[in-house]
A and B are shown apart, each in its own frame.
Chain A
Amino acid sequence: MKVDLLVVEDLWKFYGKEVILKNVNFNVEKGETKVIIGPSGAGKSTLLRCINLLVRPDRGRIVLDGDVITERRDVHNIRSQIGFVFQHFNLFNHLTAIDNVLLGLIKVKRLSREDAMRKAKEALLSVGIAEDLWRKYPAQLSGGQQQRVAIARAIAMDPKIILFDEPTSALDPELIWEVLNVMEKLSRNGMTMIVVTHELGFAIKVAHEVMFMDGGTIIEKGLPEQILLNPRSERVRRFMERMWYLYSMDRKFWRSENAK
């Protein structure tokens, strides 16, 4: 049976008079990977930040695993159940890689030092961070390594869901590959994830559903193939055509085809 792990109902957010999110509705099933695409300023980041209550929505309900989290006052307890991976990694600069992972386990989950250590090591190894990097500080790691440590920091907490906010936008192609690889593995192992990204390859291969956002609302959602290749809405079609041009994946942009 399919179970909705996350339900977002009629979500609105204003900054002053400006509407950032309007009437956003969607469900995420347990084990589902949902990809959100859309232009800058569409409200994608704000939507993710509303889900873990880093930003308070002005209207609407968010239900996580049967728990109406928009009505809870102890937001830090909710946040400990939701992983968040940032575009710029946001590792704690003054802590080593392993201490970054340990912090939440010890201070939030209150595990003993040994249990926390075991969990942290497990998480770091699962994202391919080997022991020689554990004592390095964030500034001594590559962007890809930093982002994988950030993912380890999120998964070590055993979250119900992980939110990714453009996790590869600040990385070069080789590093993008290593981060996406880790995320793909996570998804295949049944982690529930919402991923804001422009990596179309990832969306096609991994996403169960793709949602297209613009102007603070969801314009269209559906299977990845449908949204990426055959969208119904004109707005989405225009966006996707440009994306395919950038990735040169559509034959009509190829020179040899044009020459004919």
Chain B
Amino acid sequence: MLNNILYILFNYGSALEVGLRHTIIITVTSYFTGLVVGLLIAVLRVYGGRWIRGVLGILVEIIRGTPMMVQLFFVYYALPEIGLLLNPVAASIIAIAINSAVYQSEYIRASISAIPYSQFESALSIGLTKSRAVLTIILPQAIRVATPALVNEAVYLFKYSSIAYFVTAPELMYIGKFIGSRTFLYVEMYIVLAAIYVATSIVLTELAKVIERRYVIPGLLKSKA
């Protein structure tokens, strides 16, 4: 068994590397796109006008209420019907980013509501405009509250980017399956895959702890991660 694992690593190492690279590209791009869009959605859903809040609320419900797979297939197989032909990686990034944006917007929205209104009031009282108050007072505190959930989302995305397999994006899962069927070493291949996923998740989680510790507000949030 160990022999076979080493065999895979030596002979298909570069293929796995390609797979890992695509997984990372898909995860990182869709995560950060999702973060920026999610932040925007969250702020607009809290501070926007009634119409904006309503429309975004419906949008969030629709995306949260459909499987990511449906969204992915929609982007990859349905959009070409209206002339939008995307390659598998781009389609995966778009679908996962949209999905993640909605979840991240909910984490951030919850953390904005966790910041007392009095912080906003006192920001206004020194003469900051509303948007300035949100940017300089509310969001820096809300993001700190949301950090654990946002990191969880990153770990989750790293694993679930494997869904891109279904639209033939050459990411880890796809490459793994390919190597498995070439060598018939399915057990060993999936052990290697699992090990890569676990290792990366652990690295991400530890990284998050460092970030959290770095930005903890002294005396306020006594989280000892």
Which of B119, B124, B125, B220 neighbours the largest number of chain A CB atoms within 10 Å of its CB?
A: B125
Contacts of B123 in A (CB 8 A): 92
Please tell me if A54 contacts chain B, counting CB pairs below 8 Å: yes
Chain B 192-225 interface mask (CB, 8 Å, partner A; 1/0) = 0000000000000000000000000111100000
Question: Which listed residue, A94, A103, A104, touches B141 by the CB 8 Å rule?
Answer: A94
Give the distance to chain B from A193, nearest Cβ to Cβ, in Å. Answer: 15
B122 at the A/B interface (Cβ < 8 Å)?
Answer: yes
- Decide yes or no whether B66 CB sits under 8 A from chain A: no
Once A137-B217, A137-B218, A140-B219 are accepted as A-B contacts, the answer to whether A103 and B121 lie under 8 Å apart by CB is: no
- Given the complex of chains A and B, what is the CA–CA distance between A139 and B125 in angstroms? 21
Stretch at the interface among B35-43, B47-55, B82-90, B128-136: B128-136
- Chain A residues within 8 Å of B124, by CB: 54, 76, 79
Pick from A79, A139, A153: contact of B219, CB below 8 A: A139
Given contacts A54-B124, A107-B128, contact A92 B119 (CB under 8 A): yes
Tell me, rounded to whole Å, the shortest Cβ–Cβ distance linking A79 to chain B: 5
A93 within 8 A of B: yes
Q: Is the CB of B121 within 8 A of A108?
A: no
How many positions in chain B have a CB within 8 Å of any CB in the partner chain? Answer: 21
Q: In the complex, what's the smallest C-beta–C-beta distance from A81 to chain B, in angstroms?
A: 8
| Interfacial residues of chain A within 115-145, with CB under 8 A of chain B in the complex | 136-140
CB distance B217 to A139 under 8 Å?
Answer: yes
CA distance A81 to B127 in the complex (A): 8
Which of B125, B218, B220 touches A79 (beta carbons < 8 Å)?
Answer: B125
Interface residue B118 (Cβ < 8 Å from any Cβ of A): yes
Q: Complex formed: what's the CA distance from A140 to B144 in Å?
A: 18
The residue that A94 contacts in the complex, of B125, B129, B132, B217, with Cβ under 8 A, is: B217
Interface residue? A52 (CB, 8 A) = yes
Is B58 part of the contact surface with A, judged by Cβ < 8 Å?
A: no
When distances are taken between beta carbons in the complex, the residues of chain A under 8 Å from B127 are: 76-77, 79-81, 104, 108, 157
Evaluate contact between A103 and B136: CB separation under 8 angstroms. yes
The answer on a CB contact under 8 Å between B218 and A139 is: yes
Instruction: State whether the Cβ of B140 lies closer than 8 Å to any Cβ in chain A.
Output: yes
Q: How far is the CA of A103 from the CA of B218 in the complex (A)?
A: 19
Is A88 an interface residue when CB atoms closer than 8 A count as contact?
yes
Taking the closest CB of chain B, its distance from the CB of A27, in whole angstroms, is: 22
Write out the residue numbers on chain B whose beta carbons fall within 8 Å of the beta carbon of A81. Answer: 127
CA distance A80 to B217 in the complex (A): 27
A136: min CB distance to chain B, Å: 8
Question: Roughly how many angstroms separate A185 CA and B183 CA in the complex, as a whole number?
Answer: 85
Query: Nearest chain A CB to B116's CB is how many angstroms away?
Result: 8
A139→B128 contact, CB < 8 A: no
Among B109-124, those with CB < 8 Å from A are: 118-119, 121-124
- How distant is the Cα of A81 from the Cα of B144 in the complex, in angstroms? 31
**Interface: B126 (CB within 8 A):** yes
Contact of B126 among A104, A136, A137, A140 (CB under 8 A): A104
Tell me the complex Cα distance, A81–B140, Å.
26
Question: A93 with B217: in contact, given A88-B118, A103-B136, A107-B132 (CB under 8 Å)?
Answer: yes
B118 in contact with A103 (CB, 8 Å): no
Complex contact B126–A157 (CB within 8 A): yes
Name the CB-closest residue of B to A156. B126
Is the CB–CB distance between B220 and A93 below 8 Å? yes
Contact B129 A76 (CB under 8 A): yes
Q: Is the CB of A86 within 8 A of B119?
A: no
Known interface pairs A92-B137, A94-B144; A86-B126 also in contact (CB < 8 Å): no
Q: Which residues on B are within 8 Å of A, measured CB to CB?
A: 118-119, 121-129, 132, 136-137, 140-141, 144, 217-220
25 contacts between A and B (CB under 8 A): A54-B121, A77-B127, A79-B125, A79-B127, A80-B127, A81-B127, A84-B122, A86-B121, A88-B118, A92-B122, A93-B217, A94-B141, A94-B217, A94-B220, A103-B126, A103-B128, A103-B136, A104-B126, A107-B132, A107-B136, A108-B126, A108-B128, A138-B219, A139-B218, A157-B127
Q: What 5 A-B pairs come out closest when comparing CB atoms?
A: A80-B127, A139-B219, A90-B122, A104-B126, A84-B125
